[in-house]
Amino acid sequence: MKKWLLAAAVSAALAGCAAEKAPAPQAISAAVQLPAGVTLVESYAPKAGEIGIPYKKYVLANGLTVLLHEDHSDPLVKVDVTYHVGSDREHPGRTGFAHLFEHMMFQGSEHVADEQHFKVVTEAGGELNGTTNSDRTNYFETVPSNQLEKMLWLESDRMGYLLPALTDQKFEVQRATVKNERAQRIDNRPYGRLNEQFQQAFYPKGHPYSWPVIGWPADLDRATTQDVKDFFRRWYGPNNATLTIGGDIDEAQTLSWVNKYFGDIPRGPEVKALDKPLVTLDKTRYVSMQDNIHLPLIQIGFPTVYARHQDEAALDLLANILGGGKTSIIYKNLVKDGYAVQAGASHPCQELACQLSFYALANPAKGASLAPIEKLIRQSIDEFETRGVTDEDLQKVKIQFRADSIFSLQSVSGKVASLAANQTFTGNPNQIGNDLARYDAVTKEDVMRVFREYVKDKPSVVMSVVPQGGEALVAAPDNYTPPTPEVAKQAVTGLSATLAPAHSSFDRSVMPPTAKAPVLKVPELWSATLADKIDVMGTQSSETPTTEIIIYLNGGHRMEPLQKAGLAALTADMLNESSAKRSSEALAQALELLGSSVSFSASDYQSVVRVTSLTENLDKTLAIVKERLLEPGFTEADFNRVKQQTLQTLQHMVSDPNYLANAGFSKLLFGSDNSLGISSGGTLQTVAGITLEDVKAFYAEQYRAGNAQMVTVTDLPKAQLLEKLQPLTRWQGDATPLPVAGKLPAGNPGVVFLIDKPGAAQSVISIGKRALPYDATGDFFKSYLMNYPLGGAFNSRINLNLREDKGYTYGARSFFAGGSEQGYFEASASVRSDVTDKALAEFMKEISRYHQSGMSAEEQAFMRASISQGKALDYETPYQKAGFIRMIQKYHLAHDFTDEQDKIVSQISLEQLNQLAKQWLDPATMQILIVGDKATVEPGLTALGYKVVNLPL
């Protein structure tokens, strides 16, 4: 199922369980006295049996659309401002403005000081961000409900009063930041440039999707401050925006605030919808690129329709049948038979265009050439025509759609995002019922019709990504070169010079006061023991008819022999495959028909079974859990395939600088004789030596009832849930003791260990040391408080220095991480290669200053406010609740341990915090690792006085 559509459906609010079409909302009279200039357009509340989000829709006199959704289940509120402008409104040669402007919106406005937006939201205990895609830009905050007025003040000030604060200096810093973001997310990442190269070949010259959202580097260099100001004036008017507010709100008060802060912002230029001509290709286009990768990749795309076109739903179902998981044709022909490490199909849609897309990562063990992979994909497409569409194909997709519409109903953020997107792109926030009806109406004939119309014998774009020097591996020689676009004379068009300036009717320089803090709702917990062996801890949450069960087994990577590192993860992967009764495909089909998921995984200290189910299907889902857990198949064919996929994935990961940094830093801190010094996924050498007998032996030691603890969040009462868990009582076995931990290395502070990544666009810097194991109320927790102003918040010293002041990085941070036996401190960032030495010097300068002088009283007050108020956001979704319960269970904490944490936050002295800084942040004890281009970075590091040592992995 397609991601964008699920994002809308998943966040629905539930009034019942039947997936019936919701009626169109009707205009009604105001239930409250509306402020002058505010008009109620419509109100919607789901009837019994409908899935939908209750809301009220208003419009201000200046054209701003306002959506309100009340949800009093948690004391929090989300504010989202979505502007209907993305990179699709840019011009050739003038790309990147929409995303660059997103950055500029966080740099202060006329009445909000530089960096104050981040500081205010973080200090309020909230979270914030902004995102840009091809079709829209949005800004959002989630905060305790008493902070709502302050958020409206912030958002309105940058909507109406940004330009007076926009300076050349701010522009240059954010241009550098965007370049760093591009380097980190695209240029320094395996396959990072795939999408932008593919889109150039897929769309005609000048099409709004033919350039990347982040922009071309040359276009970013071409931009001016005036261009950015013009972009704001053209697209950021209230009449091109939707303000959506959801959560624990009072309708009348919220409307009053909205009108106060947004009502006097003048309208912007009118915005017309873009045309949506269907994309066509004259012939199949072959294009390719070389990259620093191990696994050759092929992507094939067919142009189809656009979002909400009448054929979109049928094309989604076609993509699911062709490549939507283990029951698909692509999986059977490519992954199951070992030709590809991964493969699949999807039908991603945007406002102006969609594409039916196939991808496969070739398995070099069966040959790395992409021509045979393309042939297999095209044979799979042909096979579909012969196979046709079954009743189960339609049934499972529709069930999955309905289930996904329910699973995340607890999230106010999801509901707000759904309302905002639907309003922005359709003018109607209430699309969930329509979407359910669209998918329910799809027939077998519809799927076959769209296959013939858009795919069968139609031209496509075939993109090959091969290792450096691997041009012989491409699917076919390139036969298409994208035309070079002409640079538009103007970056922004359609701008009137007569836009009225904003004049406020009140003093906007005064930040609104904060109302009384809401009462936090910590989940009420219960405990039980299953089969006299398994501790179960849970809570009842009646917001949705869903059940989340997580089984934790003590052991994981820590239990396996060092020479067999990766065994726990490989065993978990095998438990995701066949059982003794059914194939992995049959089990996947059974789960899809229930709308459920059951997954096995492993980490440093535990193996995990996660179960997500509609409560109505819990019995059948638990029967599959029991089958997989107690009756694994462990077939030779599954093992050979999964092991080969693991080895190829590990070889691929070596091309990822961030993976190299994590692996190298762990080795530095914990050494090769301790499991924490080796990745839980293992290495090429250790995984190569694992046999199926090793997997069976580890399963017998790990997957015992005596090792297990269980956490559950469900709408069922305790007694009913325990009754449904009874089939697992036959699970037996005593606890398995962990082996003695290996010795730890002495360490080499003052030395820079370097992992050479020739040609790397960025260097990954890691600085740190071994530190404290986890505790909830001791020195580990207090060190977390101590670090917060240094590198724990966006406006921390480290991030403001390296990102905002110097423009060296997209983001820098520091943190304490702790497990049950060991912990560590780390400061890290990906920085431009040419400033690696300067960035390291700034890191060490900030850590040294903090070590010597600690935090200030102002920073302490900020930390206290941010952390204490932020707890309002901690327990919203079932998974968040499950994580909270797991901490109590794993570390034997009191159910009210958060009260003790609150006391520590409010009472810990500056002297205590700064003493911890002196104890743990001595730069002379820190180890340093850099992953980057040795030829570029080593001279500067040597000039700083560091000894540089190559670190082999």
* Per-residue model confidence as pLDDT tens digits over 820-834: 999 999 999 999 999
Reduced to 3 states (helix: H, G, I; strand: E, B; else coil), residue 424 is helix
In this model, does residue 4 exceed pLDDT 90?
Answer: no
Instruction: Give the pLDDT mean for 137-145.
Output: 96
Q: State residue 615 phi and psi, 5-degree precision.
A: -60, -30
Structural element, H or E, at residue 57: strand 55-60
Q: Percent of the chain at pLDDT above 70?
A: 96
The answer on 258 and 290 residing in a single domain is: no
The answer on 771 and 697 residing in a single domain is: no
pLDDT at 503: 80
CB atoms within 10 A of CB 936: 15
| Distance, CA of 439 to CA of 737 (rounded, Å) | 51
Nearest Cα residue to 642 out of 689, 572, 691, 574: 574
Q: Residue 1: pLDDT band by 50, 70, 90 thresholds?
A: very low
**Is the residue at 641 inside a domain?**
yes
pLDDT at 410: 63
In this model, does residue 432 exceed pLDDT 90?
Answer: no
Reduced to 3 states (helix: H, G, I; strand: E, B; else coil), residue 68 is strand
Q: pLDDT by residue (tens digit) across 702-724?
A: 999 999 999 999 999 999 999 99
| Distance, CA of 126 to CA of 812 (rounded, Å) | 19
Q: Residue 953: pLDDT band by 50, 70, 90 thresholds?
A: confident
| Distance, CA of 421 to CA of 9 (rounded, Å) | 11
| Distance, CA of 813 to CA of 823 (rounded, Å) | 17
Nearest Cα residue to 71 out of 431, 561, 412: 412
Domains held by the chain: number: 4
| Distance, CA of 13 to CA of 410 (rounded, Å) | 8
pLDDT at 498: 60
**Is the residue at 276 inside a domain?**
no
In this model, does residue 28 exceed pLDDT 70?
Answer: no
| Distance, CA of 176 to CA of 163 (rounded, Å) | 20
* Contacts for 256 with CB less than 8 Å, ≥ 6 apart: 35
Q: Which two tokens stand for residue 663?
A: 């692996």
CB atoms within 10 A of CB 731: 19
* Contacts for 559 with CB less than 8 Å, ≥ 6 apart: 568, 698, 701, 702, 736, 738, 739
Q: Residue 5: pLDDT band by 50, 70, 90 thresholds?
A: very low
* 468 residue type, one letter: Q
The answer on 323 and 238 residing in a single domain is: no
pLDDT at 604: 95
Nearest Cα residue to 812 out of 782, 852, 837, 840: 840
Buried b (16+ CB within 10 A) or exposed e, 606-622: bbbbbbbbbbebbeebb
In this model, does residue 370 exceed pLDDT 70?
Answer: yes
Nearest Cα residue to 924 out of 755, 704, 750, 747: 750
Burial category of 125 from C-beta neighbours within 10 Å (exposed 0-12, middle 13-18, buried 19 and up): buried
Could you tell me the residue range of the domain that residue 835 belongs to? 751-879+892-950
Q: Residue 73: pLDDT band by 50, 70, 90 thresholds?
A: confident
Reduced to 3 states (helix: H, G, I; strand: E, B; else coil), residue 97 is helix
The tally of CA atoms less than 13 A away on the side-chain side of residue 667 is 19
Q: pLDDT by residue (tens digit) across 527-564?
A: 999 988 899 999 999 888 999 999 999 999 999 999 99
Antiparallel, parallel or unpaired: β 606-614 and 809-818: unpaired
Average pLDDT, the chain: 92
In this model, does residue 499 exceed pLDDT 80?
Answer: no
Which of 44-58, 72-86, 226-240, 412-426 has the lowest average pLDDT? 44-58
Are the beta carbons of 704 and 734 closer than 8 angstroms?
yes
Say which residue the tokens 């035309």 belong to: 483
The answer on 434 and 547 residing in a single domain is: no
**What residues does 89 pair with on adjacent strands?**
none
The answer on 679 and 611 residing in a single domain is: yes
The answer on 803 and 698 residing in a single domain is: no
| Distance, CA of 640 to CA of 691 (rounded, Å) | 9
Q: How far does the chain reach from its first CA to its final CA, in angstroms?
A: 39
Q: pLDDT by residue (tens digit) across 903-951?
A: 999 999 999 999 999 999 999 999 999 999 999 999 999 999 999 999 9
| Distance, CA of 274 to CA of 87 (rounded, Å) | 12
pLDDT at 6: 30
The answer on 239 and 305 residing in a single domain is: no
The answer on 937 and 794 residing in a single domain is: yes
* Contacts for 684 with CB less than 8 Å, ≥ 6 apart: 647, 650, 651
pLDDT at 115: 85
Q: Which two tokens stand for residue 348?
A: 């991603």
**Is the residue at 9 inside a domain?**
no
* Contacts for 737 with CB less than 8 Å, ≥ 6 apart: none
**Is the residue at 763 inside a domain?**
yes
At 875, which CATH number?
3.30.830.10
| Distance, CA of 739 to CA of 387 (rounded, Å) | 52
Check the CA dihedral 109-113-114-118 and report its sign. negative
Q: Which two tokens stand for residue 153?
A: 């003040």
Instruction: Give the pLDDT mean for 297-303.
Output: 98
Most confident of 380-384, 486-490, 895-899: 380-384
Check the CA dihedral 936-940-943-945 and report its sign. negative
Structural element, H or E, at residue 887: helix 878-891
In this model, does residue 24 exceed pLDDT 70?
Answer: no
Domain boundary among 681, 700, 730: 730
The answer on 197 and 139 residing in a single domain is: yes
CB atoms within 10 A of CB 168: 10
**Is the residue at 520 inside a domain?**
no
Reduced to 3 states (helix: H, G, I; strand: E, B; else coil), residue 663 is helix
Instruction: Give the pLDDT mean for 356-374.
Output: 96
In this model, does residue 31 exceed pLDDT 60?
Answer: no
Say which residue the tokens 């096995």 belong to: 600
Nearest Cα residue to 149 out of 412, 504, 506, 512: 512
Check the CA dihedral 19-24-28-34 and report its sign. positive
Q: Quote the radius of gyration of the chain (alpha carbons, Å).
A: 28
Q: pLDDT by residue (tens digit) across 331-344?
A: 999 999 999 999 99
Say which residue the tokens 């979270």 belong to: 127
In this model, does residue 855 exceed pLDDT 60?
Answer: yes
**Is the residue at 450 inside a domain?**
yes
In this model, does residue 869 exceed pLDDT 90?
Answer: no
Buried b (16+ CB within 10 A) or exposed e, 84-122: bbbbbbbbbbbbbbbbbbbbbbbbbbbbbebbbbbbbbb
The answer on 843 and 774 residing in a single domain is: yes
Distance of CA 238 to the CA centre of its chain: 29
Structural element, H or E, at residue 597: strand 597-602
Domain boundary among 730, 759, 788: 730
Find the helix packing angle between 225-235 and 97-104, rounded to 10°: 90
H helices of 725-776, in order, are: none
Q: pLDDT by residue (tens digit) across 95-119?
A: 998 999 999 999 999 999 988 999 9
Q: Which two tokens stand for residue 657?
A: 């600088």
| Distance, CA of 316 to CA of 754 (rounded, Å) | 47
In this model, does residue 275 exceed pLDDT 50?
Answer: yes
**Is the residue at 490 inside a domain?**
no
The answer on 344 and 219 residing in a single domain is: no
The answer on 201 and 75 residing in a single domain is: yes
In this model, does residue 504 exceed pLDDT 90?
Answer: no
Q: Which two tokens stand for residue 181?
A: 């973001």
Which of 28-32, 147-151, 716-720, 811-815 has the lowest average pLDDT? 28-32
Are the beta carbons of 339 and 376 closer than 8 angstroms?
yes
pLDDT at 32: 66
**Is the residue at 838 inside a domain?**
yes
In this model, does residue 455 exceed pLDDT 80?
Answer: yes
